[in-house]
Structure formats: structure tokens, C-alpha cells
Amino acid sequence: MKRITAIVAAAVLAVAGCGSGGSGGGGSGNRLSIATGGTTGVYYVYGGGLAKQLSANIANTQATASVTSASVENIKLLASGRADIGFSQADTAADAVNGKDTFTAKQPVKALARIYDNYAHVVVSPGVQAAKVADLKGKVVSLGPANSGTQVVARRMLEAAGLNPDTDITKQQLSINESVQAAKDGTVDAFFWVGGLPTSGITDLATSKPDMKLLDTSDVLAKMQATYGEQYVGLDVDLATYKLPGTVKTVGIANVLLVPDKMSDQLAYDITRVLFEKKAELTAVHPEAEKLDVQLAQQVAPVPLHPGAARYYQEKG
């Protein structure tokens, strides 16, 4: 994973350009790198659709979606100038602007929009006995890749269930792609994934292994809210999304679209404009884009809203 991350970081370096300080249509053009997530997650699919729309609808702009470990890595790429737009979970973004937990200092990022909600998936491999998060004690469990928002949530969920993520399970740090394959192979008992509906990797697993399970995690929600605030909410997963029967309750967390705080107001305005003007085209790429809403989009606290995005929302009333 370290080698893969290094390659991805190099790729991001190669495509990142003047976007963070650009004017959104200057003569030299904007090369925008969008930091997303794993290839079978929603961030990557959504980001690829957004890159296409930005390239087509902002003058002299070429946007590219890059594979990453997601939220934590994306924020670090934005802060270091190696990416221009990044997807992140709201809890990770809050930690970033407050300089807490994973982040040792406040990160220079601002938000363009709240875009849709993530669902915590706790996937149990076929044949493994577990009915709740606490039942994962003693089992081999992937918490998601290092520098991911999934791992942040997974650790908090385990702690809320009374488990130590470092000693009460045999910890793995696998990407969504690797987690799905490991569940198929029986080399992990369970894995965490925090993403939108549907996540194609889990659709693939459910198709090939319909005896997999998604745990009801509602019993850890109150403890997480007591510890971290109301950023965590209760959501229902209609398992028909994955062609499975029933519904499970789980922990939800919003997603936000972030940019470096030094991005020009005009470029931030233009990105936000395209995001909403091309909602139909983005929804055709992934159904989570249907959740875009001008009023909801502004609910990004404690992350500051970028002034360029704020101007777009003011114009929309």
C-alpha cells in the first residue's frame, strides 16, 4: 500500500497545476487534479464525472481525477498544493480545520459544498458469526486503508463498541478493492467501508457471495455522538441497493468537497457553478449526485465555506 500511495502521490504531482491560484479561465489555463478514493468507491466515480464536466464547462481548464486513499490523504494533498479539489468525509474535514486527531496542525482548506451522505458498511464475510460490532473481537478485520476517512470512522465505531482497534482485533489496512477480494478469499472475517450507495465493490461482493452480511451498527451511534457530536447520524441502508433482502441501520456521515483556501474566488465560483448546473450529467454517472441541493450544500461547518462558493449560493438566493 505504501508503494501504491507513493505512485498515486507522484501521479497527482504530475497533473496538479495552477488551479489553486488560478483565475478560472486565464490564458495559461487551469490544470486541476481531483483527489478522490479507490476505484470501486463513489468518490472516484463521482470525481471522474466532475472532472469531465469541469473540463468541458470552464474555459481553458483540464481536470483529472486521481486515485487516492481518500479523505485524510486528500486533505494532505490539498494542503501541500498537490491537488486542487478533494472529496472528504465531514468528520475528517472537521479534524483537519481544527488540527485534531490525525492532523497535528490546522489544515488550510475550505469547502465548496456538502454533497451527499456516506453510510458505514460493516461487511461480514460468508460463514463468519457476528451480529454487532462488538462481535468482531478476536477476528481479522480490515479498517480501510491508511490515511482514509473509513479508518477514522472504523476506529471510532470499534471504540464505541468497547473494543481496542489495535489489540482486540487482528487489524488489516486494506483498500475497498483489496477488502472485497479478501472477503471473497476468506482471508478477512470482516471489513469496514464508509461510502455512498451503491458502492460498486460491495455490489460485486454481494453478487458473488450473497451470504455476506452487513451489520446493524445502530448500537454504537449514541456513544459516537456523545464523544464526537452530532456529525454522526443514524441512516437506513435498503439492502435492495445490493440486491439483498431487508434493511439495516447504520452510522452516517456527510461528505464535503474541499479546495485549498488560497484558491481564487473566481475558480471556486466556477467549480461550484458547474457542480450544480451539471447535476443531471453527474447523476447519470452516479446516483448520489442526485442529492445535490443548494441549501444543504452550504452546511459545511466547522469547515469555512470558500468565498467563491458563497457568492454562487448568494446569487441562487
pLDDT tens, residue by residue, 269-308: 999 999 999 999 999 999 999 999 999 999 999 999 999 9
**Into which CATH architecture does domain 119-253 fall?**
3-Layer(aba) Sandwich (3.40)
Query: Which residue carries 464475510 as its cell?
Result: 125
> CA 75, CA 87: separation in Å to the nearest integer?
8
Answer yes or no: is pLDDT of 4 > 50. no
* pLDDT, averaged across the chain: 92
**What's the whole-model pTM score?**
0.88
Integer Rg of the chain from CA: 19
Structural domain boundaries in the chain = 2-116+254-316, 119-253
* Ordered alpha helix ranges (H), the chain: 2-15, 42-57, 71-79, 90-98, 149-160, 176-185, 200-208, 221-228, 265-277, 279-285, 294-297, 307-316
Q: What percent of the chain clears pLDDT 90, i.e. is strictly above it? A: 89
Which of 53, 36, 117 lies closest to 282, judged by CA? 53
Topology match between the domains 2-116+254-316 and 119-253: yes
Answer yes or no: is pLDDT of 232 > 70. yes
Query: Which residue carries 490564458 as its cell?
Result: 27
How confident is the model at residue 28, as a pLDDT? 55
At 90, phi and psi to the nearest 5?
-65, -35
In terms of phi and psi (left: phi > 0; alpha: psi -120 to 50; beta: otherwise), the region of 60 is left
CB neighbours of 290 closer than 8 A, spacing ≥ 6? 279, 283
How confident is the model at residue 230, as a pLDDT? 84
Question: pLDDT per residue over 67-97, tens digit each?
Answer: 999 999 999 999 999 999 999 999 999 999 9
> CA 40, CA 150: separation in Å to the nearest integer?
14
How confident is the model at residue 229, as a pLDDT? 87
How confident is the model at residue 317, as a pLDDT? 79
Question: pLDDT per residue over 18-61, tens digit each?
Answer: 344 443 333 458 899 999 999 999 999 999 999 999 999 999 99
Domain 2-116+254-316 carries which CATH code?
3.40.190.10
What is the mean predicted confidence (pLDDT) over 163-171?
A: 98
